Structures are given as C-alpha cells and as structure tokens.
Amino acid sequence: MAEATTDTTGLTLLGRPAGLPASPEEARLERVPNPHPGTRYCVRFAAPEFTSLCPLTGQPDFAHLVIDYIPGEWLVESKSLKLYLGSFRNHGAFHEACTVAIARRLVDELSPEWLRIGGYWYPRGGIPIDIFYATGPVPEGVWVPDQGVPGYRGRG
C-alpha cells in the first residue's frame, strides 16, 4: 500500500524564520490538504506555553491548552498554529472568552468535522479556571481519548 503524501505547496511559514504576529487578528493560520481525507481520525495538540494579558489589569495570564480535532478536508499546519497561539502574548482577553475564541477561529479556518479545546488556566486568587468547549458530541466511531490534564491541587 502506498503511503499518503502531504501537499505542502502554498505554505509560507514552515521551514522559514517567522516573527511573532502582533495580535491574533494579524496571525495567519495555514493549512494543508488532509492526507487521509476518507479516514476519520483525531489530531491533538498540547500547548503548555500559552500566555495572554488580563484585559482589566494588563497583568500576564498563563494557560496550558489542549486542542483535539477531527480533520475534514484540511489539516492545520503546526508552525502557523504555534505562531497564532504566540500572537496572544500582547492580547487582553478573559479566560472564558479567549479559550472559546481560539476554538472558533480554528473552526473557521479548517471546517473540521469536530473540534474541542481544553484551557487549563493558572490560579488567580487561589482558584484556577478551566474551560472545556466542544463543537458537539464526538462523532460516532471516532476515538478521542480524555485529555487527562491533572486538576489543580493547591499544596501538600
């Protein structure tokens, strides 16, 4: 059986130096055709290096993000995803708004069959907030394991 190949024509970021976009709006998400278009599978990205700003105080916020999606016609190119996530560095947004907005941007760009995001934010006031968003139930017959990020436990 011949292995599928991935069409990378049209990519502008992969394998080249690229500065951090100044804002999410300026970030360009790039995509490649799904090499297994007739096959339903799930792709997971874990992004523990996420930071944004509090829209009220300007203080930094940090989160560990995990994104799962079932591609339709397109895969997201991972370097452009990294730059898109990095573009929140100087962007102010509340936890709930920011996490769901990332998911919706990816849905816009990729038209995946299904997508979800877990945003595991660092504690403020002794209480962390986690946000769990999915576009709907996991499609029948597709395998999507738990994200398994440990809960916050305080000390001891």
Q: Does 145 bind a copy of itself (CB under 8 A)?
A: yes
Binding to Ca ion, residues 88-127 (CB under 5 A)? 122-123, 126
Site string for a copy of itself, 101-140 (x = CB under 8 A): x--xx--x-------x-x-xxxxxxxxxxxxxxx-xx--x
Give how many residues touch Ca ion by CB under 5 A. Answer: 7
* Residues 141 and 120 sit within 8 Å (Cβ to Cβ): no
- Judged by CB, which is closer to Ca ion: 45, or 133? 45
Ramachandran area for residue 111 (φ above 0: left; ψ -120 to 50: alpha; else beta): left
CB of 73 to a copy of itself, least distance (A): 13
Q: Does 55 bind Ca ion (CB under 5 A)?
A: no
Whole-angstrom Cα distance, residue 88 to residue 27?
Answer: 10
The listed partner (Ca ion, a copy of itself, none) that binds 28, CB under 5 to 8 Å by sort, is none
Contacting residue, 28, 72, 78, 113, with a copy of itself by CB under 8 A: 78
Instruction: Give the separation between CA 12 and CA 16, rounded to whole angstroms.
Output: 8
Active-site residue 54, yes or no? yes
Distances (CA, A) of 137 to 32, 34, 69, 85: 25, 22, 12, 25
**Virtual CA dihedral for 120, 81, 15, 17, nearest 10 degrees?**
-80
Binding status of residue 51 toward a copy of itself by CB under 8 A: yes
**Cβ atoms of residues 6 and 35 within 8 Å:** yes
Reported as type and span, the H/E element at residue 63 is strand 60-70
Using CB under 8 A, which of 26, 55, 73, 111 touches a copy of itself? 55
Q: Please enumerate, by residue number, every residue annotated as part of a binding site.
A: 76-78, 95-96
Q: Which residues bind Ca ion (CB under 5 A)?
A: 48, 64, 122-123, 126, 154, 156
